[in-house]
Chains A and B, each alone.
Chain A
Amino acid sequence: MAIPFDIRESDEFEISWKKLSYEVRSRAREFDESILAAVGTLYQKGPGYGQPHGDALYAVPLMEGYLLVYEWTTDRDDHGNAIFNHLALLPIERI
Protein backbone atom coordinates (compact mmCIF):
# COMPACT_ATOMS: atom_id res chain seq x y z
CA MET A 1 0.00 0.00 0.00
CA ALA A 2 1.26 3.42 -0.91
CA ILE A 3 2.43 5.82 1.78
CA PRO A 4 -0.04 8.71 2.13
CA PHE A 5 1.37 12.07 1.25
CA ASP A 6 0.34 15.56 0.35
CA ILE A 7 1.05 17.12 -2.99
CA ARG A 8 2.76 20.45 -2.74
CA GLU A 9 2.55 22.63 -5.77
CA SER A 10 5.06 25.45 -5.68
CA ASP A 11 4.49 28.78 -7.39
CA GLU A 12 7.24 27.77 -9.79
CA PHE A 13 5.17 24.74 -10.75
CA GLU A 14 2.17 26.97 -11.41
CA ILE A 15 4.22 29.40 -13.49
CA SER A 16 5.78 26.57 -15.51
CA TRP A 17 2.38 24.97 -16.03
CA LYS A 18 0.84 28.17 -17.37
CA LYS A 19 3.85 29.04 -19.50
CA LEU A 20 4.03 25.59 -21.05
CA SER A 21 0.26 25.45 -21.51
CA TYR A 22 0.60 28.48 -23.72
CA GLU A 23 3.43 26.78 -25.53
CA VAL A 24 1.49 23.58 -26.23
CA ARG A 25 -1.60 25.63 -27.14
CA SER A 26 -4.25 23.33 -28.63
CA ARG A 27 -2.78 20.37 -26.73
CA ALA A 28 -3.34 22.02 -23.34
CA ARG A 29 -6.06 19.54 -22.39
CA GLU A 30 -3.78 16.62 -23.27
CA PHE A 31 -1.03 18.33 -21.30
CA ASP A 32 -3.23 18.68 -18.21
CA GLU A 33 -4.39 15.08 -18.49
CA SER A 34 -0.82 13.86 -18.73
CA ILE A 35 0.12 15.81 -15.59
CA LEU A 36 -2.82 14.39 -13.68
CA ALA A 37 -2.14 10.87 -14.92
CA ALA A 38 1.49 11.17 -13.81
CA VAL A 39 0.49 12.57 -10.42
CA GLY A 40 -2.13 9.83 -10.03
CA THR A 41 0.43 7.13 -10.72
CA LEU A 42 2.92 8.82 -8.45
CA TYR A 43 0.30 8.97 -5.73
CA GLN A 44 -0.39 5.24 -6.06
CA LYS A 45 3.18 4.06 -6.46
CA GLY A 46 4.64 6.34 -3.81
CA PRO A 47 8.01 8.02 -3.40
CA GLY A 48 10.71 6.93 -5.76
CA TYR A 49 8.48 6.28 -8.75
CA GLY A 50 10.01 7.35 -12.05
CA GLN A 51 13.54 7.82 -13.19
CA PRO A 52 16.26 9.18 -10.88
CA HIS A 53 16.89 12.80 -11.78
CA GLY A 54 19.69 14.07 -9.60
CA ASP A 55 19.79 14.41 -5.82
CA ALA A 56 16.45 13.31 -4.38
CA LEU A 57 14.75 14.17 -7.63
CA TYR A 58 12.73 11.92 -9.87
CA ALA A 59 11.29 12.44 -13.32
CA VAL A 60 7.99 11.10 -14.57
CA PRO A 61 7.19 11.28 -18.26
CA LEU A 62 4.28 13.44 -19.31
CA MET A 63 2.95 14.17 -22.75
CA GLU A 64 5.58 13.57 -25.39
CA GLY A 65 8.46 15.95 -24.91
CA TYR A 66 7.79 16.86 -21.30
CA LEU A 67 8.75 15.59 -17.90
CA LEU A 68 7.41 16.20 -14.47
CA VAL A 69 10.21 16.48 -11.96
CA TYR A 70 9.50 15.99 -8.30
CA GLU A 71 11.32 15.53 -5.07
CA TRP A 72 10.26 13.74 -1.95
CA THR A 73 11.06 14.20 1.66
CA THR A 74 10.29 12.39 4.89
CA ASP A 75 8.94 15.55 6.51
CA ARG A 76 5.67 15.36 8.33
CA ASP A 77 2.84 17.82 8.20
CA ASP A 78 1.36 19.83 11.07
CA HIS A 79 -1.79 17.78 11.45
CA GLY A 80 -0.77 14.20 11.48
CA ASN A 81 1.85 11.66 10.88
CA ALA A 82 1.49 11.46 7.16
CA ILE A 83 4.75 11.43 5.32
CA PHE A 84 4.37 13.80 2.50
CA ASN A 85 6.00 13.84 -0.78
CA HIS A 86 5.87 17.14 -2.42
CA LEU A 87 5.76 17.98 -6.04
CA ALA A 88 8.14 20.76 -5.36
CA LEU A 89 9.43 21.19 -8.82
CA LEU A 90 8.03 21.27 -12.21
CA PRO A 91 10.57 22.15 -14.76
CA ILE A 92 8.63 20.18 -17.30
CA GLU A 93 11.43 19.82 -19.68
CA ARG A 94 11.65 19.20 -23.34
CA ILE A 95 13.58 16.06 -24.02
Chain B
Amino acid sequence: MSSHLVRLRERNQLTLPAEYAEKLGVEPGSLLELILGMELDGVHVEVRHAKVVRANTRQAKVSEQRARKDIQEGRFSTFANPDELALHMKQTRDAEAEQLRAQVEELQEQMQGILLNMRRVGAATGVVLADVPCNLSTKA
Protein backbone atom coordinates (compact mmCIF):
# COMPACT_ATOMS: atom_id res chain seq x y z
CA MET B 1 0.00 0.00 0.00
CA SER B 2 1.31 3.43 -0.88
CA SER B 3 -0.30 6.86 -1.00
CA HIS B 4 0.32 9.96 -2.99
CA LEU B 5 -1.15 13.44 -2.59
CA VAL B 6 -2.47 15.11 -5.72
CA ARG B 7 -4.20 18.46 -6.01
CA LEU B 8 -7.53 18.72 -7.76
CA ARG B 9 -7.52 21.34 -10.49
CA GLU B 10 -10.28 23.15 -12.30
CA ARG B 11 -13.15 21.01 -13.51
CA ASN B 12 -12.10 18.38 -10.96
CA GLN B 13 -9.11 17.28 -13.03
CA LEU B 14 -6.17 15.55 -11.46
CA THR B 15 -2.95 13.99 -12.70
CA LEU B 16 -2.36 10.31 -12.12
CA PRO B 17 1.25 9.94 -10.97
CA ALA B 18 3.43 8.08 -13.46
CA GLU B 19 4.12 5.28 -10.99
CA TYR B 20 0.38 4.66 -10.59
CA ALA B 21 -0.23 4.77 -14.32
CA GLU B 22 2.55 2.26 -14.85
CA LYS B 23 1.27 -0.08 -12.16
CA LEU B 24 -2.27 0.11 -13.56
CA GLY B 25 -0.97 -0.48 -17.07
CA VAL B 26 -2.64 2.63 -18.45
CA GLU B 27 -1.52 5.37 -20.78
CA PRO B 28 -3.14 8.48 -22.27
CA GLY B 29 -6.37 7.38 -23.92
CA SER B 30 -6.92 4.43 -21.57
CA LEU B 31 -10.27 4.08 -19.89
CA LEU B 32 -10.35 4.11 -16.10
CA GLU B 33 -13.21 2.98 -13.92
CA LEU B 34 -13.78 4.94 -10.70
CA ILE B 35 -15.63 3.00 -8.06
CA LEU B 36 -17.12 4.94 -5.19
CA GLY B 37 -17.29 3.03 -1.93
CA MET B 38 -19.05 4.08 1.25
CA GLU B 39 -17.43 2.45 4.25
CA LEU B 40 -17.86 3.01 7.95
CA ASP B 41 -14.59 4.89 8.11
CA GLY B 42 -15.34 7.20 5.18
CA VAL B 43 -15.62 7.43 1.42
CA HIS B 44 -13.15 5.54 -0.76
CA VAL B 45 -12.53 5.87 -4.46
CA GLU B 46 -11.00 2.89 -6.20
CA VAL B 47 -9.40 3.36 -9.61
CA ARG B 48 -9.24 0.41 -11.99
CA HIS B 49 -8.16 -0.13 -15.54
CA ALA B 50 -11.41 -0.68 -17.44
CA LYS B 51 -11.47 -3.18 -20.21
CA VAL B 52 -13.89 -2.37 -22.97
CA VAL B 53 -15.67 -5.24 -24.61
CA ARG B 54 -18.33 -4.21 -27.07
CA ALA B 55 -21.00 -6.15 -28.83
CA ASN B 56 -19.86 -8.08 -31.85
CA THR B 57 -16.25 -8.17 -30.77
CA ARG B 58 -14.44 -11.46 -31.03
CA GLN B 59 -14.46 -11.88 -27.25
CA ALA B 60 -18.22 -11.27 -27.02
CA LYS B 61 -18.91 -13.63 -29.91
CA VAL B 62 -16.81 -16.39 -28.38
CA SER B 63 -18.85 -16.12 -25.20
CA GLU B 64 -22.11 -16.13 -27.16
CA GLN B 65 -21.01 -19.18 -29.15
CA ARG B 66 -20.09 -21.00 -25.96
CA ALA B 67 -23.53 -20.26 -24.52
CA ARG B 68 -25.26 -21.46 -27.69
CA LYS B 69 -23.23 -24.66 -27.61
CA ASP B 70 -24.12 -25.15 -23.94
CA ILE B 71 -27.81 -24.83 -24.80
CA GLN B 72 -27.55 -27.19 -27.78
CA GLU B 73 -25.72 -29.79 -25.74
CA GLY B 74 -27.99 -29.55 -22.73
CA ARG B 75 -25.67 -27.72 -20.36
CA PHE B 76 -28.21 -25.36 -18.90
CA SER B 77 -30.71 -24.94 -16.09
CA THR B 78 -34.31 -23.97 -16.67
CA PHE B 79 -36.29 -21.64 -14.44
CA ALA B 80 -40.01 -21.10 -14.81
CA ASN B 81 -39.91 -17.52 -13.55
CA PRO B 82 -37.57 -14.90 -12.07
CA ASP B 83 -38.34 -16.05 -8.52
CA GLU B 84 -36.87 -19.48 -9.30
CA LEU B 85 -33.78 -17.82 -10.75
CA ALA B 86 -33.52 -15.59 -7.67
CA LEU B 87 -33.70 -18.66 -5.42
CA HIS B 88 -30.99 -20.39 -7.42
CA MET B 89 -28.73 -17.34 -7.22
CA LYS B 90 -29.31 -17.04 -3.49
CA GLN B 91 -28.56 -20.74 -2.93
CA THR B 92 -25.39 -20.43 -4.98
CA ARG B 93 -24.27 -17.40 -2.97
CA ASP B 94 -25.11 -19.16 0.32
CA ALA B 95 -23.10 -22.21 -0.77
CA GLU B 96 -20.14 -19.98 -1.66
CA ALA B 97 -20.38 -18.25 1.72
CA GLU B 98 -20.51 -21.61 3.50
CA GLN B 99 -17.47 -22.84 1.56
CA LEU B 100 -15.60 -19.67 2.46
CA ARG B 101 -16.55 -20.04 6.13
CA ALA B 102 -15.26 -23.63 6.09
CA GLN B 103 -11.97 -22.49 4.55
CA VAL B 104 -11.57 -19.77 7.18
CA GLU B 105 -12.24 -22.26 9.97
CA GLU B 106 -9.74 -24.70 8.49
CA LEU B 107 -7.12 -21.96 8.33
CA GLN B 108 -7.88 -21.00 11.93
CA GLU B 109 -7.37 -24.60 13.02
CA GLN B 110 -4.07 -24.73 11.16
CA MET B 111 -3.00 -21.50 12.82
CA GLN B 112 -3.99 -22.87 16.23
CA GLY B 113 -1.77 -25.88 15.55
CA ILE B 114 1.14 -23.67 14.55
CA LEU B 115 0.69 -21.54 17.67
CA LEU B 116 0.60 -24.63 19.85
CA ASN B 117 3.87 -25.83 18.34
CA MET B 118 5.40 -22.40 18.82
CA ARG B 119 4.41 -22.47 22.49
CA ARG B 120 5.90 -25.94 22.92
CA VAL B 121 9.14 -24.76 21.33
CA GLY B 122 8.96 -21.60 23.44
CA ALA B 123 8.51 -23.62 26.61
CA ALA B 124 11.44 -25.87 25.70
CA THR B 125 13.76 -22.98 24.83
CA GLY B 126 12.57 -20.43 27.37
CA VAL B 127 11.31 -17.99 24.74
CA VAL B 128 8.02 -16.37 25.78
CA LEU B 129 5.52 -15.64 23.06
CA ALA B 130 3.74 -12.87 24.89
CA ASP B 131 2.15 -11.14 21.90
CA VAL B 132 0.58 -14.19 20.37
CA PRO B 133 -3.19 -14.38 20.91
CA CYS B 134 -4.48 -17.35 22.87
CA ASN B 135 -7.39 -18.06 20.60
CA LEU B 136 -7.75 -17.22 16.91
CA SER B 137 -11.35 -18.21 16.63
CA THR B 138 -13.72 -15.52 15.40
CA LYS B 139 -16.72 -17.30 16.82
CA ALA B 140 -18.68 -15.45 19.47
Q: Do A and B come from one complex?
A: yes
A12 touching B85, Cβ below 8 Å: no
Contacts of A6 in B (CB 8 A): 78-80
A91 touching B63, Cβ below 8 Å: yes
Interface size class, chain B: 20 to 34
Among B45-98, those with CB < 8 Å from A are 50-56, 59-60, 63-64, 66-68, 70-71, 75-82, 84-86, 88-89, 93
Instruction: Knowing A8-B78, A59-B55, say if A89 contacts B68 (CB, 8 Å).
Output: yes
Say yes or no: is B33 at the interface (Cβ < 8 Å to chain A).
yes
> Chain A nearest CB: distance from B94 CB in Å?
12
Encoded as 1 (CB less than 8 Å from any B CB) or 0, chain A from 79 to 95 comes to 00000001011110111
A36 touching B70, Cβ below 8 Å: no
Say yes or no: is B37 at the interface (Cβ < 8 Å to chain A).
yes
Majority-rule SS of A interface residues? mixed
B55 touching A53, Cβ below 8 Å: yes
Which partner residue on chain A sits nearest B88 by CB separation?
A9
A7 touching B79, Cβ below 8 Å: yes
B64 touching A7, Cβ below 8 Å: no
Instruction: Knowing A35-B89, A39-B85, say if A90 contacts B67 (CB, 8 Å).
Output: yes
For the complex of A and B, 7 pairs with smallest distance between CB atoms: A91-B63, A10-B70, A12-B67, A89-B67, A10-B67, A7-B79, A11-B75
Known pairs A11-B67, A89-B67, A94-B52 / 10 extra A-B pairs, C-beta < 8 Å: A6-B78, A6-B80, A7-B79, A7-B85, A8-B77, A9-B88, A14-B77, A27-B35, A36-B89, A69-B60
Interface residues of A (CB under 8 A from B): 6-14, 16-17, 26-28, 32, 35-36, 39-40, 43, 53-54, 57, 59, 65, 69, 77, 86, 88-91, 93-95
- 17 of the cross-chain contacts (CB-CB < 8 Å) are A8-B71, A9-B88, A10-B66, A10-B76, A11-B67, A12-B66, A17-B89, A28-B93, A53-B55, A65-B50, A86-B71, A88-B71, A88-B76, A91-B53, A91-B64, A93-B54, A95-B52
Interface residues of B (CB under 8 A from A): 33, 35, 37, 50-56, 59-60, 63-64, 66-68, 70-71, 75-82, 84-86, 88-89, 93
